[in-house]
Amino acid sequence: MFGLNFAKATNATFLFDSVVFNVDGLHGRYSWIQDILPLADSELTLSQLQCFNTSFQTIYGQWHDVVRQSHFEQNACNVLFQTGIRMCCPSNVTDVEQVCYCTERKDVMTLGAFDRAKSHMREVYAQSTFEPSTTLFRINDDGTSTEHTDRKGNGVVTLRSDTMVVAWHVRGGDIVLNGEREFFDTVASQVASAMKGLPYHIFILGEETLKFFPFLTQMCAEHFDSKCSFPTVEAREALHFMVKSLLLITSGSSFAYMAALLKTSGEVLNAVSKEGLFGIYELASHGRLDLDGNIIKPSSSELQTQLKKLHGVKLSRK
Protein backbone atom coordinates (compact mmCIF):
# COMPACT_ATOMS: atom_id res chain seq x y z
CA MET A 1 0.00 0.00 0.00
CA PHE A 2 2.86 2.35 0.83
CA GLY A 3 4.57 1.46 -2.44
CA LEU A 4 1.46 2.27 -4.48
CA ASN A 5 1.19 5.60 -2.70
CA PHE A 6 4.89 6.28 -3.32
CA ALA A 7 4.42 5.58 -7.03
CA LYS A 8 1.56 8.05 -7.14
CA ALA A 9 3.60 10.70 -5.29
CA THR A 10 6.51 10.35 -7.73
CA ASN A 11 4.26 10.05 -10.82
CA ALA A 12 5.88 6.70 -11.59
CA THR A 13 4.84 3.10 -12.23
CA PHE A 14 4.68 0.88 -9.15
CA LEU A 15 7.28 -1.89 -9.29
CA PHE A 16 6.43 -5.08 -7.38
CA ASP A 17 9.22 -7.24 -5.98
CA SER A 18 7.84 -10.55 -4.70
CA VAL A 19 11.09 -11.27 -2.87
CA VAL A 20 10.05 -9.00 0.00
CA PHE A 21 7.36 -11.54 0.98
CA ASN A 22 9.91 -14.35 1.14
CA VAL A 23 12.14 -12.69 3.72
CA ASP A 24 12.00 -14.11 7.24
CA GLY A 25 10.61 -11.40 9.46
CA LEU A 26 9.46 -11.20 13.06
CA HIS A 27 6.32 -13.20 12.21
CA GLY A 28 7.84 -15.48 9.57
CA ARG A 29 7.39 -15.26 5.83
CA TYR A 30 4.41 -13.76 4.03
CA SER A 31 4.77 -15.54 0.68
CA TRP A 32 1.24 -16.90 1.14
CA ILE A 33 -0.17 -13.41 0.78
CA GLN A 34 0.33 -13.64 -2.98
CA ASP A 35 -2.34 -16.37 -3.01
CA ILE A 36 -4.79 -13.77 -1.71
CA LEU A 37 -3.40 -10.74 -3.57
CA PRO A 38 -2.01 -11.82 -6.97
CA LEU A 39 0.13 -8.70 -7.32
CA ALA A 40 2.59 -10.48 -9.60
CA ASP A 41 -0.20 -10.76 -12.17
CA SER A 42 -1.50 -7.20 -11.86
CA GLU A 43 1.69 -5.12 -11.46
CA LEU A 44 4.97 -4.58 -13.27
CA THR A 45 7.42 -6.90 -11.52
CA LEU A 46 11.14 -6.57 -10.92
CA SER A 47 11.84 -9.70 -12.97
CA GLN A 48 9.91 -8.25 -15.92
CA LEU A 49 11.85 -5.01 -15.65
CA GLN A 50 15.16 -6.87 -15.67
CA CYS A 51 14.20 -8.48 -18.99
CA PHE A 52 14.53 -5.08 -20.67
CA ASN A 53 18.26 -5.17 -19.96
CA THR A 54 18.23 -1.41 -19.48
CA SER A 55 20.34 0.57 -17.05
CA PHE A 56 18.47 2.81 -14.64
CA GLN A 57 19.37 5.88 -12.71
CA THR A 58 18.41 5.06 -9.11
CA ILE A 59 17.30 7.83 -6.78
CA TYR A 60 17.20 6.52 -3.21
CA GLY A 61 16.56 8.34 0.04
CA GLN A 62 14.01 9.70 2.47
CA TRP A 63 10.42 9.65 1.21
CA HIS A 64 9.98 13.41 1.07
CA ASP A 65 13.42 14.00 -0.48
CA VAL A 66 12.84 11.48 -3.28
CA VAL A 67 9.35 12.84 -3.99
CA ARG A 68 10.78 16.34 -4.17
CA GLN A 69 13.53 15.25 -6.56
CA SER A 70 11.04 13.35 -8.72
CA HIS A 71 9.47 16.68 -9.67
CA PHE A 72 12.67 17.48 -11.57
CA GLU A 73 12.59 14.10 -13.36
CA GLN A 74 9.04 14.26 -14.71
CA ASN A 75 10.09 13.90 -18.35
CA ALA A 76 12.95 11.50 -17.71
CA CYS A 77 13.01 7.82 -18.64
CA ASN A 78 14.77 4.90 -16.96
CA VAL A 79 14.67 6.44 -13.50
CA LEU A 80 14.04 4.20 -10.49
CA PHE A 81 12.77 5.86 -7.31
CA GLN A 82 13.35 3.97 -4.07
CA THR A 83 12.65 4.53 -0.39
CA GLY A 84 11.93 2.39 2.67
CA ILE A 85 9.28 2.03 5.34
CA ARG A 86 11.70 3.52 7.88
CA MET A 87 12.67 6.31 5.54
CA CYS A 88 9.27 7.93 5.29
CA CYS A 89 9.92 10.77 7.70
CA PRO A 90 11.13 14.23 6.65
CA SER A 91 14.91 14.48 6.45
CA ASN A 92 15.04 16.59 9.61
CA VAL A 93 13.80 13.62 11.68
CA THR A 94 16.87 11.80 12.97
CA ASP A 95 15.23 8.93 14.87
CA VAL A 96 15.72 5.99 12.49
CA GLU A 97 13.31 3.87 14.51
CA GLN A 98 10.42 6.25 13.91
CA VAL A 99 7.97 5.20 11.20
CA CYS A 100 5.97 8.03 9.66
CA TYR A 101 3.85 5.74 7.50
CA CYS A 102 4.77 7.63 4.37
CA THR A 103 2.22 10.35 4.84
CA GLU A 104 1.51 13.37 7.01
CA ARG A 105 2.14 13.56 10.75
CA LYS A 106 0.43 10.90 12.84
CA ASP A 107 -1.47 13.48 14.86
CA VAL A 108 -3.21 14.83 11.75
CA MET A 109 -4.02 11.49 10.14
CA THR A 110 -7.52 11.43 8.66
CA LEU A 111 -9.71 9.11 6.67
CA GLY A 112 -8.77 9.31 3.03
CA ALA A 113 -5.10 8.45 3.44
CA PHE A 114 -4.03 5.98 0.75
CA ASP A 115 -7.57 5.73 -0.66
CA ARG A 116 -6.30 5.20 -4.20
CA ALA A 117 -4.01 2.39 -3.06
CA LYS A 118 -6.79 0.83 -0.97
CA SER A 119 -9.12 0.82 -3.95
CA HIS A 120 -6.44 -0.76 -6.12
CA MET A 121 -5.79 -3.51 -3.59
CA ARG A 122 -9.47 -4.40 -3.63
CA GLU A 123 -9.35 -4.58 -7.42
CA VAL A 124 -6.37 -6.96 -7.21
CA TYR A 125 -8.13 -9.09 -4.60
CA ALA A 126 -11.11 -9.45 -6.96
CA GLN A 127 -8.75 -11.34 -9.31
CA SER A 128 -7.80 -13.89 -6.64
CA THR A 129 -8.71 -17.50 -7.30
CA PHE A 130 -7.82 -18.69 -3.80
CA GLU A 131 -10.05 -21.40 -2.33
CA PRO A 132 -9.67 -22.47 1.33
CA SER A 133 -8.79 -26.11 1.95
CA THR A 134 -11.23 -26.32 4.86
CA THR A 135 -14.60 -24.92 5.83
CA LEU A 136 -15.94 -23.47 9.05
CA PHE A 137 -19.57 -24.45 8.54
CA ARG A 138 -22.05 -26.45 6.50
CA ILE A 139 -25.39 -25.17 5.30
CA ASN A 140 -28.56 -27.10 6.03
CA ASP A 141 -32.01 -25.54 5.86
CA ASP A 142 -34.06 -28.67 6.55
CA GLY A 143 -33.71 -28.37 10.32
CA THR A 144 -31.48 -31.41 10.83
CA SER A 145 -28.13 -31.23 12.58
CA THR A 146 -25.00 -33.10 11.55
CA GLU A 147 -21.69 -33.67 13.29
CA HIS A 148 -18.49 -33.12 11.35
CA THR A 149 -14.84 -32.59 12.20
CA ASP A 150 -12.27 -31.33 9.69
CA ARG A 151 -8.70 -32.59 9.26
CA LYS A 152 -7.42 -30.15 11.92
CA GLY A 153 -9.93 -31.27 14.50
CA ASN A 154 -12.17 -28.24 14.15
CA GLY A 155 -15.84 -28.89 14.74
CA VAL A 156 -17.70 -27.78 11.61
CA VAL A 157 -21.06 -26.33 12.62
CA THR A 158 -24.26 -26.66 10.64
CA LEU A 159 -25.96 -23.34 9.92
CA ARG A 160 -29.09 -22.15 8.17
CA SER A 161 -28.37 -20.21 5.00
CA ASP A 162 -29.69 -17.01 6.56
CA THR A 163 -27.30 -17.15 9.53
CA MET A 164 -25.33 -14.00 10.34
CA VAL A 165 -21.69 -15.13 10.21
CA VAL A 166 -19.47 -13.00 12.43
CA ALA A 167 -15.65 -13.17 12.28
CA TRP A 168 -13.96 -11.74 15.36
CA HIS A 169 -10.17 -11.53 15.18
CA VAL A 170 -8.13 -11.60 18.38
CA ARG A 171 -4.40 -10.95 18.57
CA GLY A 172 -2.38 -13.17 20.88
CA GLY A 173 1.16 -14.51 20.66
CA ASP A 174 4.13 -12.17 20.99
CA ILE A 175 1.81 -9.16 21.03
CA VAL A 176 -1.49 -9.35 22.89
CA LEU A 177 -3.96 -6.63 21.93
CA ASN A 178 -7.04 -5.73 23.97
CA GLY A 179 -6.35 -8.53 26.41
CA GLU A 180 -8.76 -7.43 29.12
CA ARG A 181 -12.03 -9.26 29.71
CA GLU A 182 -13.84 -5.93 30.13
CA PHE A 183 -13.01 -4.91 26.55
CA PHE A 184 -14.54 -8.09 25.11
CA ASP A 185 -17.61 -7.89 27.34
CA THR A 186 -18.25 -4.31 26.21
CA VAL A 187 -17.99 -5.21 22.53
CA ALA A 188 -19.98 -8.43 22.91
CA SER A 189 -22.90 -6.83 24.74
CA GLN A 190 -23.34 -4.21 22.02
CA VAL A 191 -23.01 -6.70 19.15
CA ALA A 192 -25.40 -9.16 20.81
CA SER A 193 -27.94 -6.36 21.25
CA ALA A 194 -27.62 -5.35 17.58
CA MET A 195 -28.15 -8.98 16.45
CA LYS A 196 -31.09 -9.63 18.76
CA GLY A 197 -33.69 -11.77 17.00
CA LEU A 198 -31.32 -12.76 14.18
CA PRO A 199 -29.73 -16.18 13.69
CA TYR A 200 -25.96 -15.80 14.04
CA HIS A 201 -22.72 -17.62 14.77
CA ILE A 202 -19.43 -16.15 15.99
CA PHE A 203 -16.10 -17.47 14.66
CA ILE A 204 -13.26 -16.20 16.85
CA LEU A 205 -10.03 -16.34 14.86
CA GLY A 206 -6.53 -16.00 16.22
CA GLU A 207 -3.38 -17.78 17.32
CA GLU A 208 -3.97 -20.17 20.26
CA THR A 209 -7.03 -18.11 21.08
CA LEU A 210 -8.10 -19.74 24.33
CA LYS A 211 -4.52 -19.86 25.63
CA PHE A 212 -4.18 -16.09 25.51
CA PHE A 213 -7.87 -15.27 26.11
CA PRO A 214 -9.15 -18.05 28.41
CA PHE A 215 -12.26 -16.04 29.33
CA LEU A 216 -13.71 -16.11 25.81
CA THR A 217 -15.67 -19.33 26.35
CA GLN A 218 -17.50 -17.80 29.29
CA MET A 219 -17.98 -14.52 27.43
CA CYS A 220 -19.60 -16.40 24.54
CA ALA A 221 -21.88 -18.25 26.92
CA GLU A 222 -23.02 -15.06 28.63
CA HIS A 223 -23.49 -12.86 25.56
CA PHE A 224 -23.97 -15.21 22.59
CA ASP A 225 -25.65 -18.28 24.10
CA SER A 226 -22.44 -20.22 23.37
CA LYS A 227 -22.93 -19.83 19.61
CA CYS A 228 -19.17 -19.45 19.11
CA SER A 229 -16.42 -21.49 17.48
CA PHE A 230 -12.64 -21.19 17.94
CA PRO A 231 -11.23 -22.78 14.78
CA THR A 232 -7.56 -23.34 14.03
CA VAL A 233 -6.88 -22.28 10.45
CA GLU A 234 -3.90 -21.12 8.41
CA ALA A 235 -3.29 -17.38 8.11
CA ARG A 236 -4.46 -17.10 4.50
CA GLU A 237 -7.63 -19.07 5.28
CA ALA A 238 -8.35 -16.90 8.32
CA LEU A 239 -7.95 -13.84 6.10
CA HIS A 240 -10.31 -15.35 3.53
CA PHE A 241 -12.97 -16.13 6.13
CA MET A 242 -12.73 -12.63 7.62
CA VAL A 243 -13.17 -11.04 4.20
CA LYS A 244 -16.22 -13.23 3.46
CA SER A 245 -17.93 -12.73 6.84
CA LEU A 246 -21.04 -10.60 7.13
CA LEU A 247 -19.69 -8.82 10.21
CA LEU A 248 -15.97 -8.47 10.93
CA ILE A 249 -14.64 -7.25 14.27
CA THR A 250 -10.93 -6.45 14.10
CA SER A 251 -8.34 -6.62 16.85
CA GLY A 252 -6.11 -3.64 16.07
CA SER A 253 -3.72 -5.94 14.21
CA SER A 254 -2.73 -4.96 10.67
CA PHE A 255 -3.61 -8.54 9.62
CA ALA A 256 -7.27 -8.08 10.50
CA TYR A 257 -7.20 -4.54 9.12
CA MET A 258 -6.10 -5.99 5.78
CA ALA A 259 -9.17 -8.25 5.75
CA ALA A 260 -11.38 -5.26 6.53
CA LEU A 261 -9.75 -3.31 3.74
CA LEU A 262 -10.44 -6.07 1.19
CA LYS A 263 -14.09 -6.55 2.18
CA THR A 264 -16.57 -5.26 -0.38
CA SER A 265 -19.70 -6.30 1.49
CA GLY A 266 -20.88 -6.70 5.05
CA GLU A 267 -20.08 -4.59 8.10
CA VAL A 268 -16.79 -3.84 9.85
CA LEU A 269 -16.10 -2.73 13.42
CA ASN A 270 -12.46 -1.67 13.65
CA ALA A 271 -10.60 -1.63 16.94
CA VAL A 272 -7.94 1.04 17.43
CA SER A 273 -4.82 -0.02 15.50
CA LYS A 274 -1.83 -1.22 17.49
CA GLU A 275 0.09 1.82 16.25
CA GLY A 276 -2.59 4.10 17.64
CA LEU A 277 -3.13 5.60 14.19
CA PHE A 278 -6.36 6.52 12.50
CA GLY A 279 -6.89 6.79 8.76
CA ILE A 280 -4.23 4.51 7.32
CA TYR A 281 -6.18 1.26 7.35
CA GLU A 282 -9.80 2.34 7.60
CA LEU A 283 -12.33 3.04 4.92
CA ALA A 284 -14.93 5.75 5.46
CA SER A 285 -17.68 3.13 5.63
CA HIS A 286 -16.06 1.20 8.48
CA GLY A 287 -17.38 1.29 12.03
CA ARG A 288 -15.05 2.11 14.91
CA LEU A 289 -14.46 0.95 18.47
CA ASP A 290 -12.74 3.05 21.11
CA LEU A 291 -10.04 1.75 23.44
CA ASP A 292 -12.65 0.51 25.92
CA GLY A 293 -14.66 -1.40 23.30
CA ASN A 294 -17.49 1.08 22.92
CA ILE A 295 -18.86 1.43 19.39
CA ILE A 296 -18.21 5.02 18.28
CA LYS A 297 -19.64 4.53 14.81
CA PRO A 298 -22.26 3.58 13.66
CA SER A 299 -24.95 4.24 16.22
CA SER A 300 -26.65 1.25 17.84
CA SER A 301 -29.79 1.72 15.75
CA GLU A 302 -27.81 2.12 12.53
CA LEU A 303 -25.81 -1.04 13.21
CA GLN A 304 -28.98 -2.97 13.98
CA THR A 305 -30.59 -1.75 10.76
CA GLN A 306 -27.55 -2.73 8.68
CA LEU A 307 -27.39 -6.20 10.23
CA LYS A 308 -31.07 -6.79 9.56
CA LYS A 309 -30.45 -5.94 5.90
CA LEU A 310 -27.55 -8.39 5.80
CA HIS A 311 -29.79 -11.06 7.29
CA GLY A 312 -31.31 -11.48 3.85
CA VAL A 313 -27.95 -12.33 2.29
CA LYS A 314 -27.67 -16.08 1.76
CA LEU A 315 -24.51 -17.84 2.88
CA SER A 316 -22.19 -19.57 0.47
CA ARG A 317 -20.23 -22.63 1.46
CA LYS A 318 -16.89 -20.88 1.01
Predicted TM-score (pTM) of the model is: 0.86
Closest CA to 277 of 244, 254, 309: 254
Q: What are 83-89's contacts with CB under 8 Å, separation 24+?
A: 83/6, 85/2, 87/61, 87/62, 87/63, 88/2, 88/62, 88/63, 89/62, 89/63, 89/64
CB count within 10 Å of CB 8 equals 15
Q: What is the mean pLDDT of residues 220-235?
A: 94
In the chain, the domains with their CATH numbers are 2-106 (no CATH), 137-310 (3.40.50.2000)
C-alpha span between 227 and 292 (Å, rounded): 24
Q: Is the pLDDT of residue 100 over 70?
A: no
Q: Is the pLDDT of residue 46 over 80?
A: yes
Q: State residue 315's pLDDT score.
A: 61
In this predicted model, what pLDDT tens digit does every residue of 245-302 receive, in sequence order?
A: 999 999 999 899 999 999 989 999 999 988 777 777 788 889 999 999 999 999 999 9
Q: Is the pLDDT of residue 17 over 80?
A: yes
Query: Residue 145's pLDDT band (boundaries 50, 70, 90)?
Result: very low
Question: To the nearest whole number, what is the mean pLDDT of the chain?
Answer: 84
Amino acid code (one letter) for 37? L
C-alpha span between 269 and 293 (Å, rounded): 10
Decide: residue 212, CB within 10 A, 0-12 exposed, 13-18 middle, 19+ buried: middle
Question: pLDDT higher for 153 or 11?
Answer: 11
Q: What is the mean pLDDT of residues 141-162?
A: 65
Q: Residue 111 in 3-state DSSP? A: coil
Q: Residue 263 in 3-state DSSP? A: coil
